[in-house]
């Protein structure tokens, strides 16, 4: 699988991955093309995935924006270098192709989802909202 990372419309690097290494990215890409799903945070209509976490979690625009705000607060406190590298583009964490960043984003993203879920009313999600 070939992945091309673009920043500001310009190609930054081009990576070729074997099938095993590309499988998580392929699964996320397939999941993101499913059309409307239910937001797993608030229950509203969702069209995209939560960036940065390995688990496939759908989120509406409002929840994804709040998740990004929380994640960037963690980023500012724990990894200010990533604020600059990401240019506050939340999708950077899906496309970093750096295992260290992916690991940090997955763990920290789970924490951000927990904070976001805890801030929702108990009945806002029609399903198990554990992440």
pLDDT in tens, 13-61: 565 666 666 666 666 667 667 778 899 999 999 988 898 898 989 999 9
What distance in Å separates the CA atoms of residue 88 and residue 100, rounded to the nearest whole number? 18
Domain residue ranges in the chain: 34-118
Please give the pLDDT value at position 130. 52
What distance in Å separates the CA atoms of residue 29 and residue 130, rounded to the nearest whole number? 23
Please give the pLDDT value at position 125. 47
Tokens representing residue 73 in the block = 């607060």
Confidence of residue 120 (pLDDT cuts 50, 70, 90): confident
Residue 70 scores a pLDDT above 90: yes
Please give the pLDDT value at position 1. 57
Least confident of 20-29, 32-41, 81-90, 110-119: 20-29
What distance in Å separates the CA atoms of residue 95 and residue 3, rounded to the nearest whole number? 9
**Helix (H), strand (E), coil (C) string for the chain:** CEEEEEECCEEEEEEECCHHHHHHHHHHHHHHCCCCEECCCCCCEECEECCCCCCCCEECHHHHHHHHHHHHHHHHHHCHHHHHHHCCCHHHHHCCCCHHHHHHHHHHHHHHHHHHHHCCCCCCCCCCCCC
Burial of 106 (0-12, 13-18, 19+ CB in 10 A): middle
Q: For all residues of the chain together, what is the average pLDDT? A: 80
Please give the pLDDT value at position 113. 95
Tokens representing residue 121 in the block = 């009313």
Please give the pLDDT value at position 126. 46
Average pLDDT over residues 113-128: 72
């Amino acid at each position: 699988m070939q992945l091309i990372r673009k920043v500001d419309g310009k190609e930054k690097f081009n990576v070729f991955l074997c099938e095993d290494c590309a499988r998580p990215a392929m699964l996320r890409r397939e999941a993101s093309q499913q059309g409307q799903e239910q937001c797993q945070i608030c229950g509203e209509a969702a069209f995209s995935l939560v960036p940065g976490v390995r688990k496939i979690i759908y989120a509406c625009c409002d929840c994804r924006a709040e998740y990004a705000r929380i994640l960037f607060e963690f980023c500012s406190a724990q990894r200010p270098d990533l604020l600059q590298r990401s240019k506050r583009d939340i999708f950077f964490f899906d496309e970093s192709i750096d295992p260290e960043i992916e690991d940090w984003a997955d763990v920290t993203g789970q924490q951000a989802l927990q904070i976001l879920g805890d801030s929702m009313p108990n009945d806002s999600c029609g399903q198990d909202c554990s992440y």
